[in-house]
């Protein structure tokens, strides 16, 4: 009995660290590439503006496979799936570093994405099942610290590695962290299973096909000379969405039940997440690209300019509860979205002769308001869900966020390419970036009207949760 208690104490000490390792790798990987794309593009003989597939393929794979993580953990055990995910993520990282062209890199990023889609959700599931409710918040807070540090380090680490080593190291850095996670997982990760395993495989495949087709159509929109296949893929994506709707309506146990959308706050939260992240998600990629391509600055410089966004986001988290308590969700989200859109528009003001330091305060303030936006949207989305809806609602929210990030990156680069091919820029690529920020900023401001559907009293009796 004493030995079992000692083992349980060791598990409780180490398990948050194991999850922290997984979250750190995923968060670092999500941000480290933004400052490194021009260097990778040069080495692979590609245009930096065609490199978005390397990011979108990873984000889309996360969105597609995340819904299957709970089923796989219940079926095969949390320990087996978690270690499998770390092995897959580490192998994907190794393959990325060995890529000889963009196609190899995209395939390797998909392998990474499959690992990433299982890694964090399964780690969180093990944590939830191990800790009592009164211990869970403390354990989770420790585990998510890397989620706050990763976005700060990502652009900087990526910048320094590209400038002083080579771009290959931005992927190789994952391997020792992955090996540490595997060793700790083999010894300390509990292997929880469930006998009650029910998974909507058909619904999962239909939804995955819809996500994939819609993302591919967005990617193809960059090639306007051949619009027919693009529209065909886009329409097929919507047909699969409709097919999923019919499938879920028949009853059974759909992966995302339709009754979720009968909850008004969830509906507004999902649409608001998708609409506002279209603009917000493109900034961390567009700004480093502009600094390196238009201003001809180093990856390190672009990393230092973008890093304050993550630092002030951490700061913003400590204020969000006070702001929501004072102004409520409706007012906070509408005003906050307007501020974010305006800040993105301000990025369009400096011309090519303006000092780069002009961007630092804008980016720092943007990080603060982004933090308030994400926490508020995520919290109001699940505020009125019943207990039996929370799991599927939270899962759909996570998938929606990843899709929105992928769509946002694709959308930002499509707009940039459109302006690049017009006479409006007078042959200056920097002007194409400025017009893109202006367009994205205005659309972000307009997306704030989604939150008018909220009532003044929505979320008043709810304690705000972290992003």
pLDDT band at 417 (very low <50, low <70, confident <90, very high): confident
pTM score: 0.79
Looking at residue 458, the DSSP 8-state letter turns out to be T
Residue 342 has pLDDT above 90, yes or no: yes
Measured distance CA(272)–CA(406) in Å, rounded: 16
Chain segment 69-127, per-residue pLDDT in tens:
777 887 788 888 888 999 999 999 999 888 888 888 888 988 998 898 888 778 777 77
Domain end marker among 195, 219, 246: 195
Residue 338 has pLDDT above 90, yes or no: yes
Query: Do the Cβ atoms of 297 and 356 come closer than 8 Å?
Result: yes
CB atoms within 10 A of CB 209: 18
Measured distance CA(100)–CA(212) in Å, rounded: 25
Q: Are residues 218 and 167 in the same domain?
A: no
Query: Do the Cβ atoms of 176 and 53 come closer than 8 Å?
Result: no
**Average of per-residue pLDDT across 450-464:** 71
Q: Are residues 215 and 271 in the same domain?
A: no
Assigned token pair, 319: 């204020």
| Confidence at residue 442, expressed as pLDDT on a 0 to 100 scale | 92
Chain segment 68-84, per-residue pLDDT in tens:
877 788 778 888 888 89
Looking at residue 252, the DSSP 8-state letter turns out to be S
Range of the domain at 170: 1-195
Q: Are residues 177 and 250 in the same domain?
A: no
Q: Are residues 277 and 365 in the same domain?
A: yes
Average the pLDDT over each of 93-102, 239-248, 390-399 and give the range with the smallest value. 390-399
State the residue for tokens 């999850």: 19
**Average of per-residue pLDDT across 376-393:** 74
- The total number of structural domains in the chain stands at 3
Q: How far from the centroid of its chain's Cα atoms is residue 112's Cα? A: 14
Q: Are residues 333 and 207 in the same domain?
A: no
| Confidence at residue 138, expressed as pLDDT on a 0 to 100 scale | 64
Residue 466 has pLDDT above 50, yes or no: no
Sequence length of the chain is 467
Residue predicted with more confidence, 154 or 436? 436
Q: Are residues 118 and 215 in the same domain?
A: no
Tell me the average pLDDT of the chain.
80
The CATH number of the domain where 43 resides is what?
1.20.1250.20
Burial (Cβ within 10 Å: 0-12, 13-18, ≥19) of residue 201 = exposed
Q: Are residues 138 and 227 in the same domain?
A: no
Most confident region among 128-142, 201-215, 414-428 by mean pLDDT: 201-215
Domain end marker among 180, 195, 210: 195
Domain end marker among 238, 254, 270: 254
Q: Are residues 222 and 323 in the same domain?
A: no
Helix/strand/coil for 101: coil
Query: Do the Cβ atoms of 99 and 214 come closer than 8 Å?
Result: no
Assigned token pair, 420: 């690049």
Q: Are residues 244 and 349 in the same domain?
A: no
Reduced 3-state DSSP string for 175-206: HHHHHHHHHHHHHHCCCCCCCCCCCCHHHHHH
Q: Are residues 87 and 164 in the same domain?
A: yes
Q: Are residues 450 and 314 in the same domain?
A: yes
Average the pLDDT over each of 176-180, 262-266, 335-339 and give the range with the smallest value. 262-266
Chain segment 15-27, per-residue pLDDT in tens:
777 777 777 777 7
Chain segment 150-186, per-residue pLDDT in tens:
667 777 777 788 788 888 888 888 888 888 888 888 8
CA dihedral over 39, 40, 46, 47, signed as positive or negative? negative
Residue predicted with more confidence, 276 or 28? 276
Q: Are residues 229 and 274 in the same domain?
A: no
Residue predicted with more confidence, 173 or 221? 173
């Amino acid at each position: 009995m004493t030995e079992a208690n000692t083992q349980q104490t060791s598990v409780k000490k180490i398990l948050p660290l194991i999850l922290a390792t997984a979250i750190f790798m995923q968060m670092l990987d999500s941000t480290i590439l933004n400052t490194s794309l021009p260097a990778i593009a040069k080495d692979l003989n590609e245009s930096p503006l065609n490199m978005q597939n390397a990011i979108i393929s990873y984000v889309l794979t996360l969105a597609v496979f995340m819904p299957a993580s709970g089923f796989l953990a219940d079926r095969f055990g949390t320990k087996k799936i978690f270690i499998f995910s770390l092995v897959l993520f580490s192998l994907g990282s190794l393959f990325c570093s060995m890529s000889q062209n963009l196609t190899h890199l995209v395939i390797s990023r998909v392998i990474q994405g499959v690992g990433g889609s299982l890694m964090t959700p399964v780690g969180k599931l093990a944590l939830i099942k191990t800790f009592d409710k009164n211990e869970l918040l403390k354990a989770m807070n420790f585990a998510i610290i890397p989620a706050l540090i990763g976005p700060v380090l990502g652009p900087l680490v990526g910048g320094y590695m590209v400038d002083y080593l080579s771009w290959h190291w931005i992927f190789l850095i994952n391997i020792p962290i992955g090996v540490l996670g595997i060793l700790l997982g083999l010894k300390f990760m509990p292997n929880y299973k469930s006998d009650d395993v029910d998974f909507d495989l058909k619904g999962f495949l239909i939804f995955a096909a819809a996500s994939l087709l819609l993302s591919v159509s967005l990617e193809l929109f960059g090639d306007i000379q051949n619009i027919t296949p693009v529209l065909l893929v886009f329409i097929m994506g919507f047909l699969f969405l409709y097919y999923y709707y019919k499938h879920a309506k028949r009853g059974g146990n759909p992966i995302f039940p339709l009754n979720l959308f009968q909850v008004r706050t969830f509906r507004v939260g999902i649409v608001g997440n998708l609409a506002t992240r279209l603009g917000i998600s493109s900034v961390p990629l567009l700004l480093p690209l502009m600094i390196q391509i238009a201003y001809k600055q180093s990856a390190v410089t672009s990393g230092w300019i973008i890093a304050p966004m993550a630092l002030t986001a951490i700061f913003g988290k400590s204020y969000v509860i006070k702001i929501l308590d004072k102004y409520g969700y409706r007012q906070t989200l509408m005003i906050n979205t307007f501020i974010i859109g305006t800040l993105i528009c301000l990025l369009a003001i400096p011309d090519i002769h303006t000092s780069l330091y002009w961007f630092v305060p804008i980016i720092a303030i943007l990080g603060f308001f982004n933090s308030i936006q994400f926490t508020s949207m995520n919290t109001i989305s699940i505020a009125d869900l019943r207990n039996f809806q929370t799991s599927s609602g939270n899962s759909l929210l996570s998938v929606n966020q990843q899709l929105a990030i992928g769509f946002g990156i694709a959308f930002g680069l499509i707009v940039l390419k459109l302006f690049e091919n017009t006479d409006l820029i007078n042959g200056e690529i920097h002007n194409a970036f400025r017009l893109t920020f202006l367009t994205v900023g205005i659309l972000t401001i307009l997306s704030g009207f989604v939150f008018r559907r909220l009532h003044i009293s929505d979320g008043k009796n709810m304690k705000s949760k972290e992003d």
